[in-house]
Amino acid sequence: MAVAIHVLDHFLEPQELLNHLMPKLRSGGWILLVTHNGNSLAARAFGQRWPAYCLQHPQIYSSSTIKQSLIRAGFSDIRVMRTVNYFPVTYLLRHFLFACGLGRVSLPELPAWTIGLKLGNIAAIGQRP
């Protein structure tokens, strides 16, 4: 298995990387990619202010473009899905208060609850035939 989490979007020629990885996998081997999703709600809501739109990300993918890249590299059985990031409630609350201009606020210990947020990423998996 090859895993590249937020790697492909940093390459100027990402297709070359996929083409290079394909023969390295055994028949039946899998590749897992996580990239930013240019069609996400976050991308649409923030427009050009979306943090993924920066010099460090010369490539921004959508479900269809990441799938086409995997097909061009020779992968099959391709699946693309949105990912969920999980955060402790206290982490989110601290960052919300900071964003509201309250600086670093000391909070009492709260239960270790987590909240899942879809932040505009996609995962794609493909198999070497």
Three-state SS for 62-115 is CHHHHHHHHHHHCCEEEEEEECCEEEEHHHHHHHHHHHHHHCCCCCCCCCCCEE
Helix (H, G, I), strand (E, B) or coil at 27: coil
- pLDDT value at position 129? 96
3-state SS assignment for residue 17: helix
User: 53: number of CA atoms within 13 Å, CB side?
Assistant: 12
What was the pLDDT predicted at 108?
A: 75
Domain ranges of the chain: 2-85+116-127
Crossing angle of the two packed helices 14-21 and 63-73, in degrees rounded to 10: 50
Q: Is the pTM of this model over 0.85?
A: no
Rounded Cα gap, residues 69 and 67, in angstroms: 5
pLDDT in tens, the chain (129 residues): 999 999 999 999 999 999 999 999 999 999 999 999 999 988 998 888 888 999 899 999 999 999 999 999 999 999 999 999 999 888 888 878 887 888 777 777 777 889 999 889 999 999 999
Q: Which CATH architecture has domain 2-85+116-127?
A: 3-Layer(aba) Sandwich (3.40)
Residue-level pLDDT at 26: 97
Cα–Cα distance for residue pair 40/85, rounded to 1 Å: 14
Matching residue, tokens 């427009």: 47
